[in-house]
Structure 1
Amino acid sequence: MPLRDLALGLGVVAIWALNIIVIKLGVAELPPLLLTTLRFLLVAALLVPFHPVARHQLPFLALLSLTFGTLHFAMLFIGLEQAEAGTGALLVQMGTPFATLLAVLFLKERLGPRRLAGLILSFAGIVVLAGGPTLPAPLPTALLLVSALGWAISQLLIKQGPNVPPMALAGWVALFATPQVALGSWWFEQGQIEALSDAGWAAWGAVFYTAVMSSILAYGVWYGLLRRHPVNRVVPMVLLVPVLAVGLGVVLLGDGLGPHKLIGGGLVVAGIALIVLRLGGRKTPAEASS
């Protein structure tokens, strides 16, 4: 891989890792579902007018908006409100083991000893994290794992569904997800008008960053790299996202860094590495996070 493309890939990793920190700052000023709604609105406004889709693709995109939009992103924002950034990033990485299990159960894919070992390591890492002080309360932990499950279900849907260009998929999923998340904000949250009037640079910066930098710019660059290089040279860089997110959480937010997070996080990342690293160039589902 040329040095320029390597730098682009590492830049995407940095954007996605910093996205976790930005979400933490944003939900400190805006209710999480309100912030998610604003993010979806901006993504849809910037992408939908320039990326039309066929009418027969709309039901698939509407279904994906439930799993990828509401289940993944909304639960991610809510969970991160009450979790440390690094721990939250590690929990959301469980989307890859979940996707592997779902593919075995529903698509009859072969697991194999290497991927089985990866699953065992990943879940062992969560057990180690659970024994430490940085794991959030049961509810936000469950929400972050549900977010990971939403990502996993979405990858299977994308794999089996119609071929929709990435930017069109992002825009139309955001469009369909906006009223769902807005309804959730109206039903479960309060003080939205006051929060909007009092919102500062951190809140509005979070809306811009999560929509433009993390979703549009980073994914645009990422899919360009996937088109130019074998998948097994590009996808492994995603393993750096939770590592960098943990470091940024410690430096920028003062998160703790004890042995449970180091060992548990290391097991999670090692397990995911066994699952995603391939000797061939067969394409894997798009990594997303963020």
Structure 2
Amino acid sequence: MNRRDSLLAALVASVWGFNFVVIDWGMGDVPPLLFCAVRFLLVLVPAVLVVRRPQVSWRTLALVGATMSLGQFGFLYVAMAAGLPPGLAALVLQAQVVFTIVIAAGVLRERPTTAQVVGVLLGTLGLVVV
């Protein structure tokens, strides 16, 4: 990876991390689930115009949207409104990687690669250390 790529990766990580501070600021005046809904609506409207709908059934699309968007981020916003600090919220959200691999293995019968297992173990160790 060259210097430019490293700087871009650091920029993406910084913007993503700062996102949790902005969420914390935004919920100062707006209830958490309403703030979450407005955020996803603001992303949805331009995305519908640019991104083609995946070739899955409406039921699957709704189920994925409900669990990932409503479930994961709804709980995240409520936890932050209840006092979870933004930095810790960013770390907690990364625990989704472990659940994604476990669910993919159990439900979809996907076998994780050695690199995925090593990456998940290292990431989990990092979360435990923090």
TM over 0.5: yes
Sort the Cα spacing of 1:33 and 1:109 in 2 relative to 1 into closer, same or farther, 3 A. Answer: same
Distance 2:55 2:20 in 1: 34
Q: After the TM superposition, which residues 51-130 of structure 1 pair with which residues of structure 2 at under 5 Å, given as runs?
A: 51-53=51-53, 57-81=57-81, 82-106=83-107, 107=109, 109=111, 115=117, 118=121, 122=125, 125=128
Compute the TM-score of the two structures, normalised by the length of structure 1. Answer: 0.38
Q: Which has the higher contact order (CA 8 A, sep 6+)?
A: 1
Tell me the alpha carbon deviations over residues 180-201 of structure 1, each in whole angstroms, 9 at most, x when there is no partner. Answer: xxxxxxxxxxxxxxxxxxxxxx
Letter in 2 for 1:76: L
Deviation at 1:15, TM superposition (A): 0.6
Unaligned runs of 5+ in 1: 126-263, 266-290
RMSD between aligned residues:
2.9
Aligned length: 125
Distance 2:55 2:11 in 1: 35
SS in 2 for 1:83: coil
* Higher alpha-carbon deviation: 29-38 or 45-54: 45-54
Sort the Cα spacing of 1:102 and 1:111 in 2 relative to 1 into closer, same or farther, 3 A. Answer: farther
What is the aligned-residue identity percentage? 26
Distance 1:102 1:91 in 2: 18
Whether 2:42 is the aligned partner of 1:42: answer: yes
Sort the Cα spacing of 1:102 and 1:27 in 2 relative to 1 into closer, same or farther, 3 A. Answer: same
Deviation at 1:57, TM superposition (A): 4.6
Judge conservation of contact 1:33–1:74 (CA < 8 Å) in 2.
Answer: yes
Judge conservation of contact 1:33–1:77 (CA < 8 Å) in 2.
Answer: yes
Deviation at 1:63, TM superposition (A): 1.7
Judge conservation of contact 2:26–2:35 (CA < 8 Å) in 1.
Answer: yes
Letter in 1 for 2:50: F
Judge conservation of contact 2:21–2:86 (CA < 8 Å) in 1.
Answer: yes
Compute the TM-score of the two structures, normalised by the length of structure 2. Answer: 0.77
Distance 1:2 1:108 in 2: 33
